[in-house]
Amino acid sequence: MNSFYARLRSHRLASTFLFLAILSVAIVGGSYAAHGVRGQERTSDSSDATPLKVVNSPIEPNAFVKIAKAVGPAVVNINTQTLPKNVGNKGGRRLLPNPHNRVQPNPQNPGDNPDDDDQDGGQGPGQGQGQNNFQDFFNRFFGGQMPDQDGGDDGQVRESLGSGFIVDAKGYIITNNHVIEKADKIFVKLSTDPDSQDLGRPARVIGTDKATDLAVIKIESSSPLSTVKLGNSDQVQVGDSVEAIGSPFALAQTVTAGIISAKNRTIEPGVAGQFQHFIQTDAAINPGNSGGPLLNMNGEVIGVNTAIYTQSAGYQGIGFAMPSNTVVSVYNDLISPSHKVTRGSIGISFRSGLSGAVNRVYGFKNGVLVQQVQPGGPAEKGGIKAGDIITTIDGRSIKDGDDLVNDIASRRPGSSIRLGFVRDGKPQDATVTVGDRDKVFGDAIGQKQESNPDNTSDAGEKLGLVVRQITDQTAQKIHTSGVIIQSVRSGSFADLQQLEPGLVIVRINKKATGTKDQFDAVVKGLKTGDDVVFEVMDPRHPENGINYIGGTL
């Protein structure tokens, strides 16, 4: 029996080995067969295949091609550098020897305050921006910023990127204020400049206008530069084709196309949007396009690309451009000797978007309900009071607050207007002399900060400052002498250095400014290209000590 099982096991083992041997032969044979097939594929005859050739058939350039070639040389790339704040000194800055460290800056967002008032010509003291319905989605300041960086006090230089376009062969360039705002150094690269690590040609600020987010800068050139033409934005229609050129994501000379989607778009209610009525387009614009041109099919600039509506910080088909007619008006003011936009104001605040109930109770359909009158301002001097309803200007009916603002802002300071208004249900009228918006509300700031009307210095005009010598009481509080800032001109050198009303300047470039005469002497000695460092104190917080704020004039 044992012999039988032994033979059975031996037979099974033999069968197993035979099966494995046959399987191995099959695998090897299949491999050779496959190799043979592949080898046959590699050596297949392709003598009947026809080689491909590039066809050089002429294509007539379309309008977009012609515009890109004609306008491209006048569109520039803008790089800015912002020096780090001085560690331990709130709001201060220090000059660094090496300006080439590259870190992208902190993005800025519109304010969100539902209690703000509208005004006839500008933002008054203590007033913020209107409520922003797009707060979670609207990325207005998109000059190359990254949303996850908080910048400022890490010791590194911040760099921002944007676009612009040359409007004068001598080197004058239009861009957005937010592209160059607070920058210590500005560089411009032309499309004809060599593609290198060099940031470009140094530029200086001619003037800025925060209200429209526009700025004018200038570069030097030994030969005339290519320029663009400004078209009439009032003539554009919804549905018109447009082309945008800029530097999205640092990709210079990028061309995109679309149509006009809407006109007269106000994207920020309240004071912040009083002078911002945009052209809406679906031409792709992204971070870095800011300040670039929006062109019609004649190759004329009909807008400055300023903002996008987005949920991802990128293009989603909704962009906004400041109309060229507004741009021309602002530009002409910025290149004037004052380098500022002068807007009329009568010194009132009003509430926009009133309910129908308010209109019915106060008995008016069209007009503006005055909420506050600036003390000592033109309206008060003309007899206007809070609660009055302004209905006409020089006999023309006023539709709403925007209509009032646009009319008065366009008037020159010193001109007179006849206001029709309703008080206690009775029609009345008054003659009001239009004032300078900056002075009307700037004077109020000065009155709140310092009550001493004497010892006012005008030498600070070079820096964009109005200052007064501090009182003995303030000097005792901060344990030093100095001059207090009464007002700062929008877009000026002082404004770019973040100087604010209420701060006390104790020294400039290590020289004492304890009196008006000392301040005047130091400022008169400054010239374009000088490094200027302010030593300032905040009398409201003397415990913070001295801040050092500096830049190149």
Annotated active-site positions, please? 178, 213, 290
* Alpha-carbon separation of residue 134 from 140, 280, 316, 526 (angstroms): 10, 15, 14, 44
Give Cβ neighbours of residue 124 (< 8 Å, ≥ 6 apart).
349, 374, 441, 444
Query: φ and ψ at 536, to 5 degrees?
Result: -125, 155
- Token look-up 């209200």 returns 211
Q: How many CB atoms lie within 10 A of CB 64?
A: 16
Helix (H) or strand (E) holding 202: strand 201-209
Specify whether the CB–CB gap between 429 and 438 falls below 8 A. no
Two tokens, residue 436? 């300078």
Q: Other C-beta atoms within 10 Å of 39: how many? A: 9
Asked if 162 and 247 count as a contact pair (C-beta separation under 8 A), the reply is: yes
DSSP label of 336 = S
> Could you write out the DSSP letters of every residue in 344-396?
EE--EEE--S--HHHHHHHT-SSSEEEEEE-TTSHHHHTT--TT-EEEEETTE
> What's the rounded Cα separation, in Å, for the pair 26 and 292?
71
Contacts (Cβ under 8 Å, ≥6 apart) of 13: none
Amino acid letter for position 295: L
Cα distance between residue 338 and residue 84, in whole Å: 30
Q: Is 512 helix (H, G, I), strand (E, B) or coil?
A: strand
Judged by DSSP in three states, 307 sits in strand
Beta bridge partners of 259: 241
- Cα distances from 435 to residues 350, 419, 545, in angstroms, run 17, 15, 38
d(CA 348, CA 270): 14
Residues 6+ apart with CB under 8 A from 440: 121, 122, 345, 346, 347, 374, 377, 378
* Amino acid letter, residue 236: V
Query: What distance in Å separates the CA atoms of residue 280 and residue 265, rounded to the nearest whole number?
Result: 7
Angle CA 415–416–419, to nearest 5 = 140
